[in-house]
A and B are shown apart, each in its own frame.
Chain A
């Protein structure tokens, strides 16, 4: 029968443990307080009317539908653009271009881009997509701008996922007579897919909460219609939240809290999906 050993702690270790525990509790308490405040302020507003209503001057009539739809449109189109481009770039960098100074410099460059404040992409988007391309302040301009924001992240994560595919899988494929492209398409990318998908979800989480670049772009803050296509004007949840908070009426602040709950719920769903994808890919190995 094994006896539990009592670890003898000296003063320093005790202090460290207490400090660590206190820090943890502080974080939990802060998050808990924020969550509680949110639920208290906005919980009551959540309901069918709120989720399907449009903008209004009266807080109790205002709803989140255009913003929700706008978020889905912009994020969806951004990912449709960014994913193939990002995975393709990652494949090129990892598999097709020669290792060397150029490859290393590109890697540093892209890592840095992933950390650039999103507002800068907003300004780039404004100049290039809205003005030069003449797209106007529409869903497509917003989506392309957000695609730029998320592209470095997708490239980075996809590169990691591709690198993690063991070398002997590639060798086995080539030894059977497959070409490099066949190996990449039929073996490397499928094997890297769980990692790439997780990266995609991380990317979505990143852009779903971004307000700055879209504000720079000129997303509207008062919309009575949901977007009907790529050429529609749009707004997104974070922008709507920002707008409502800026109004003096308490009713709008409640709306903002409710909208935040909706946004957090979306993020929660996305994260759960990512965890499920991860778990299923581990179990099949």
Chain B
């Protein structure tokens, strides 16, 4: 099992403000890596660096090395479309397109060139099954995605991300806007997907990190304080800040 993500000495600035300080972190294939830390500490910023979604912000500047699936993704000539196909992103608030359920899931494959109806039908069904949504929507694929409940919409977004067959799945607090039952479903999903996919999940919920992840990384004020096997981090943290955060002294 090799490293699929290797970040070395990553610094990031939003204009004048430095948001990430010399982050070095790696993720191995098939694992679930949780990113925890107080609000505004840079976890989401770090996550978005991995599929270059930070590029959308005009004042952003990056230094350091980010190697994903063997490629330096910030090199000149990096194909963004291919990167984002291989590294999927699930957002904090579900954002389905104002189209049918089918069209939502089929969009990814379509823009990457898949035109055959039979193939698309297959991909849509597979992705919805993987996201544990197929049984609930199989009779109404043509209905608007906006009619689904919050939890269903988020699973639809996961299906949508899976439809382009990524290797890595980035999840930015995927369950934070959901009720406990929907959250449990998402966590079950992560347990099923791990191994086949490498998952990096940002979460505010430490119990969630404890439940779903193999390894955990603790961020604070834009720096990586500590990372390691999840149970070690939570039972025997090396750094004081980690200890303080985990015991609820701040954040």
Q: How many residues of A contact B (CB 8 A)?
A: 20
Contacts of A190 in B (CB 8 A): 99
CA distance A174 to B91 in the complex (A): 12
Interface residues of A in 171-191 (CB under 8 A from B): 171-179, 182, 186-187, 190-191
Are B146 and A177 interface neighbours, CB within 8 A? no
Question: Known contacts A176-B107, A176-B160, A177-B112; is A171 also within 8 Å of B95 by CB?
Answer: yes
A285 within 8 A of B: yes
CB-based contact B160/A174 at 8 Å: no
Cβ B56 vs Cβ A174 within 8 A:
yes
Contacting residues of chain B (27-41) with chain A, CB-CB under 8 angstroms: none
B86-110 contacts to A (CB < 8 Å): 88-89, 91, 93, 95-99, 107-108
Q: Which residues of A contact B111 (CB under 8 A)?
A: 176-178, 182, 186
Please tell me if the beta carbons of A285 and B97 are within 8 angstroms of each other in the complex: no
Chain B interface size range: 20 to 34
Whether the pair B95, A169 counts as a contact (CB closer than 8 A) is yes
Output the nearest chain B residue to A285 by Cβ-Cβ distance.
Answer: B146
Closest partner residue, chain B, to A165 (CB atom)? B98
With an 8 A cutoff between CB atoms, is B220 at the interface? Answer: no
Q: Are A176 and B84 in contact (CB under 8 A)?
A: yes
Q: Mark A68-91, 1 if CB is under 8 A from B, else 0.
A: 000000000000000000000000
> Cβ of A284: which chain B residues have Cβ within 8 Å of it?
98, 144
Taking a contact as CB atoms under 8 Å apart, the answer to whether A177 and B108 are in contact is: yes
- Whether B95 contacts A176 by the Cβ 8 Å rule is no
CB-based nearest B residue for A99: B58
Q: Which of B58, B82, B96, B99 contacts A177 (CB 8 A)?
A: B82
User: How far apart are the CA atoms of A172 and B160 in the complex, in Å?
Assistant: 10
- Asked if A5 is an interface residue, CB under 8 A from chain B, the answer is no
Q: How far in angstroms is the closest Cβ of chain B from A60?
A: 55
Interface string of B129-168 (1 = CB under 8 A from A): 0000000000000001010000000000100110010000
B192 within 8 A of A: no
Chain A residues whose C-beta falls within 8 Å of the C-beta of B97 in the assembled complex: 169, 172-173, 187, 191
- In Å, the complex CA distance between A179 and B81 comes to 7
A191 in contact with B98 (CB, 8 Å): yes
Contacts A169-B97, A171-B53, A187-B97; is A177 near B91 (CB within 8 Å)? no
The answer, yes or no, to whether A13 is at the interface (CB within 8 Å) is no
A177:B95 contact, CB within 8 angstroms: no
- The answer to whether A175 and B82 have CB atoms under 8 Å apart is no
- In chain A, what residue has the closest Cβ to B83? A177
Contact B53 A175 (CB under 8 A): yes
Tell whether B198 is near chain A: CB-to-CB under 8 Å. Answer: no
Asked if A174 and B53 make an inter-chain contact with CB atoms under 8 angstroms apart, the answer reads: yes
- Expressed in whole angstroms, the minimum distance between the Cβ of B238 and any Cβ of chain A is 34
Interface membership of chain B positions 49-81, coded 1 if the CB is closer than 8 angstroms to chain A and 0 otherwise: 001010010100000000000000000000011
11 inter-chain pairs at a CB distance below 8 angstroms, sorted by A residue, are A166-B95, A171-B56, A172-B157, A172-B160, A176-B108, A177-B83, A177-B84, A178-B81, A178-B111, A182-B111, A186-B107
